[in-house]
Amino acid sequence: MTPRIRPDLDDLPVYVPGKTFPDAVKLASNEVTFGPLPSVMEAITAAASSVNRYPDNGMVELTTELAKNLDVSPEEIQVGCGSVILCQNLILTTCRPGDEVLFGWRSFETYPLATQLIGATAVRVPLTADDVHDLPAMARAITDRTRLIFVCNPNNPTGTVATAAELRAFLEQVPADVVVALDEAYFEYTRPDAEHAYDSLALHREFPNLVVLRTFSKAYGLAGLRVGYAVADPTVITALGKAHVPFSVNSVAQAAAIACLHAREELLARTDAVAAERDRVITRLRAAGYRVPDSQANFVWLDLGSRAMDFARAGVEAGVVVRPFDGDGVRVTVTEAAENDQFLTFAETWAQQA
Ligand code: PMP
């Protein structure tokens, strides 16, 4: 006899992160290339000297600092071990088996995986032909079983964003008891024009069912330490607090995140270079014949369809690791000019040979 595991998990795939190859440029996981600032490193070292003690389970100092930064109250914030765990805990706290979690597709892979893990039902609404969330179609897909909706903005992996008007119209159509998680993992990289500009924290005041998810993994450069946070109505935050795995945000991570907030301006200033590089990369790729939607994140999407895996394999041979989605496309992180150039040289050569 083998140990009995829930049979509905038999076809649940394991999350496969971007691969690493020694000596290759890694453009598969939307990380930043730079290590911690000296002030952040100092905080990490100082916190490391007391890892014999459990961390602050309430994450009070970090929560207070975030509240100050975001101009919300600490009761509206829940910190988690990466925003991925907050996605999972939102599903856990809103859904029972059979309830529906709605999201655009393709989007962040955790949404369907975590939904299936708890026995809820994933409802995927295809993106538009321009790879943008089809919010009117998502509104039409809401049923009386819908308990949670993810809107990933900018969307991973396409980098596309919804317009402010579409987002507002959507929120107005969602029943007030259905939670909408606005996943803003790449928020710091957005440079929206007037049509796409919105203030998610102001929207959360207007729509108490709106949860804003952000992370220290991307622009703040702490992917390896796992810190994310949710801003939401205290009702949702209380529920997320119940799902919080005790001590899961470790003391080094908490100290580093606080130090990053103290160095916020310096860290956020670095996103300007990525935003500029993103436009340059997109222009070059389009000139080489690729179909690439506008991106507001630190990555771009190549709509390669059935050629996605071939492209990624050739990339590895050329020393560039990208993130393919079989039969769909390839996501490529935008980092600093030299790495981006290495990728562009490969992509331009591949386009000529293909
Ligand atoms: N949301 C989106 C859209 C993401 O792309 C990611 C990271 N890949 C996350 C959430 C999770 O980020 P983390 O757990 O590192 O905070």
Domains of the chain: 18-35+265-353 (3.90.1150.10), 38-262 (3.40.640.10)
pLDDT of residue 64: 98
Cα(283)–Cα(330) distance, rounded to whole angstroms? 17
pLDDT of residue 22: 79
Name the residue at shortest CA distance from atom 1 of ligand 1.
185
Distance 353 CA to ligand 1 centre (A): 34
Among 3-7, 86-90, 104-108, 318-322, which stretch is predicted with the lowest mean pLDDT?
3-7
Cα(170)–Cα(193) distance, rounded to whole angstroms? 20
Q: Are 141 and 134 in contact (CB under 8 A)?
A: no
- SS3 letters across 192-242: CCCCCCCCHHHHHHHCCCEEEEEECCCCCCCCCCCCEEEECCHHHHHHHHH
pLDDT of residue 21: 78
Query: Which residue has tokens 């994933």?
Result: 122
pLDDT of residue 318: 95
Farthest-apart Cα atoms in the chain, separation: 62
- Strand ranges inside 55-160, DSSP E: 77-80, 100-105, 121-126, 146-152
With pLDDT > 70 as the criterion, what percentage of the chain qualifies? 99
pLDDT of residue 307: 97
Sign of the dihedral defined by the CA atoms of residues 206, 115, 298, 325, in that order: negative
Q: Are 229 and 83 in contact (CB under 8 A)?
A: yes
Amino acid at the residue 188:
E
pLDDT of residue 344: 98
Nearest Cα to Cα of residue 75 among 85, 66, 88: 66
Distance 183 CA to ligand 1 centre (A): 8
215 lines ligand 1 (CB under 6 A): yes
Measured between alpha carbons, how far apart are the two ends of the chain, in Å? 51
83 lines ligand 1 (CB under 6 A): yes
- Is the preceding peptide bond at 192 cis, omega within 30 degrees of 0? no
pLDDT of residue 20: 74
In this prediction, residue 264 has a pLDDT band, given cuts at 50, 70 and 90, of very high
Distance 38 CA to ligand 1 centre (A): 25
The average confidence (pLDDT) of the chain is 96
**If you average pLDDT over residues 32-39, what whole number do you get?**
96
Q: Which two tokens stand for residue 164?
A: 């402010």
Cα(123)–Cα(105) distance, rounded to whole angstroms? 9
Q: Are 217 and 249 in contact (CB under 8 A)?
A: no
228 lines ligand 1 (CB under 6 A): yes
Name the residue at shortest CA distance from atom 13 of ligand 1.
82
pLDDT of residue 15: 81
Residue 97 CA to its chain's centroid (Å):
25
In this prediction, residue 1 has a pLDDT band, given cuts at 50, 70 and 90, of confident
